[in-house]
Amino acid sequence: MKFTIPLPPVTKKNHSQIFRNKSTGRPYIVPSKQYKEYEEQAGYYIPYKWQMIDKPVNVQAVFYMQTKRKVDLTNLLSAICDVLVHYGVLVDDNSNIIVSHDGSRVLYDKDRPRTEIEIMEVILEKKQGE
């Protein structure tokens, strides 16, 4: 399955806000307004022609950034995986479902920032004795 989210990629971890629970005093983190807007807009570009994926997959995400500023690939991957779970593409983003991100990378495209996603089923070989 392949699709493109034609929005400038964002991370979930930058600019998060920390609040305190009034009754317990415990801190909790709320994603940034920028990420929440990205998550909402990304939903328009995610095709809904399948059931939730609950098998091992490789999620390859190629992020085309609008600037050459350094960005953390793992933070971008975390954000896009959370979006895929939020919209029901993946049951979860744990290591039993997303077993790899092979082929994922960050590239530069000033005129067309986007995220190209390909999700491929991975057939795991059973070890001897399993």
Q: Provide the b/e sequence for 93-113 (b: ≥16 CB within 10 Å).
A: beeebbbebeebebeeeeeeb
CATH number at residue 60: 3.30.1330.70
CB of 93 within 8 A of CB of 84? yes
Q: Which residues of the chain have pLDDT under 70?
A: 14-17, 49-50, 127-130
Contact at 8 Å (CB) between 34 and 10? Answer: yes
Residue 43 is assigned to a structural domain of this protein? yes
Q: How do residues 5-15 score in pLDDT, each as one tens digit?
A: 999 999 987 66
| Domain membership flag for residue 107 | yes
Q: Is residue 127 assigned to a domain?
A: no
- Cα gap 125→123, rounded to integer Å: 6
Q: Residue 82 sits in which domain range?
A: 2-121
Would you say residue 129 lies in a domain?
Answer: no
Residue 103 placed within a domain: yes
Q: What is the distance between the alpha carbons of residues 5 and 27, in angstroms, rounded to a whole number? A: 32
Q: What is the pLDDT of residues 70-87, one digit of tens each?
A: 999 999 999 999 999 999
Reported pTM: 0.84
